[in-house]
Amino acid sequence: MKVYNIVSLPGDGIGPEVMNSAIKLLQTVSKIYDFKFEISEHLVGGASLDYCGAPISSEVLEKCKNSDAVLLGAVGGPKWDSLPQDKKPEKGLLELRNSLSLFSNLRPAKVFEPLVDSSTLKKDVILGADILVVRELTGGIYFGEPRGYNEDEGYNTLRYTREEVRRIAEMAFKLASKRSGNVTSVDKANVLDSSQFWRNIVHEAHEQYGDLILNDMYVDNAAMQIVLNPKQFDVILTQNLFGDILSDITAMITGSLGMLPSASIGEKYALYEPVHGTAPEIAGKNKANPIAMISSIAMMLEITMGLPNVAKEINNAIELVLQSGIRTEDIAIDGTTSVTTTEMTNYITQSFTENAKKNLANQNSKATREQL
């Protein structure tokens, strides 16, 4: 039996609640299929700060490096907002990404047909939208030096190297080749020298992918176009800061941040997490939408474990539950049934179990017939 070593980092706010949903589903998956998950839970973010004075410890980083994949809930909250930048919970996430060299962040935003009325945009604008934001994750203004502030000024440094831009561009082109073959590179080359450099290197990388379409777009226009006509986009390639912002905009065309998963991928390691934050206003109230965390599990099974069929079963289960009118509070509308985090998890787990077992039975029956 194949055993996968998973590190679970629930974090803060609603992080532990949605992580519980993910773990429950993984346990169900392992009961149906012939593999096992060894899951160890550790602290990150504010929870780690309260325990050991650091947003992530060296011991936890080492655990992550020895795992097959890392699952993260969410980090941060008002309790720690007044701390210095190097002590804030979010610093733990940045350290994790940097230590594991997770240079690419993949954030899919696909509109589920049952949820078109949950979006603030018109149905005919969003129906059929399927966007993948490919965000550079370990460079740019979040990591550039020098940085700091005093009583008179605050400053950060936006810097990219040729290798950093080229490897994320190649990642975007490879992903686009498996989709619709269209890449939109988002920058601010009319103002920023670093963006002109970015654009130059992206076009150099594109020379090896001549069968793919490459368009350039300024970030302010991209923000507008995502809302105006999201279906024009396939893969959006962009730098760290712009990707952080644009992926939240793409999230809202789906109806809720609670719907969006993400994968942070490096040469050796992988981290999976929902796009949403800690939502302290609903933490502990059993109101959080677990779908983004559960969808992140599906991404992990497909990308790291090489189990696309199992991932597809999970995504199908999510869609079937949504089609039945089951909703968490953030995506509920008139005529649907609003449920808790726990109840939504149970519905998805039940749907997955029923359909996975049915499909396995059909596969076994087909194999038997072929042997006769």
Active site residue 68: no
Per-residue pLDDT, 358: 86
Judge contact between 149 and 101, C-beta under 8 A.
no
Active site residue 124: no
CATH topology identical between 1-100+269-372 and 106-259: yes
- Of 142, 160, 269, 347, the active-site residue reads 142
Active site residue 220: yes
Active site residue 152: no
Cα separation of the two ends of the chain: 28
- Of 244, 272, 287, 347, the active-site residue reads 244
- Of 79, 216, 248, 312, the active-site residue reads 248
- Of 12, 88, 91, 188, the active-site residue reads 188
The pTM of this model reads 0.85
Active site residue 248: yes
Per-residue pLDDT, 251: 81
Task: Say whether 35 sits in a helix, a strand or coil.
Answer: strand
- Of 123, 220, 357, 366, the active-site residue reads 220
Judge contact between 103 and 148, C-beta under 8 A.
no
Residue spans per domain, the chain: 1-100+269-372, 106-259
Q: Tell me whether strands 148-149 and 154-155 are parallel, antiparallel or unpaired.
A: antiparallel
Judge contact between 162 and 134, C-beta under 8 A.
no
Q: Does domain 1-100+269-372 have CATH number 3.40.50.300?
A: no
Per-residue pLDDT, 25: 96
Q: Where are the beta strands (DSSP E) in the chain?
A: 2-11, 35-41, 69-74, 104-110, 130-136, 148-149, 154-155, 182-187, 213-218, 235-238, 261-265, 270-274, 326-328, 337-339
Q: Tell me whether strands 261-265 and 270-274 are parallel, antiparallel or unpaired.
A: antiparallel
CATH numeric code, 106-259: 3.40.718.10
Judge contact between 24 and 62, C-beta under 8 A.
no
Per-residue pLDDT, 313: 95
Greatest C-alpha distance within the chain: 82
Q: What is the mean pLDDT of each run of 10 residues along the chain (372 residues)?
A: 95 98 96 93 97 96 97 96 91 92 94 84 91 94 94 97 97 94 98 98 97 98 97 97 92 80 94 94 97 96 92 95 94 92 98 89 63 56
C-alpha span between 303 and 255 (Å, rounded) = 25
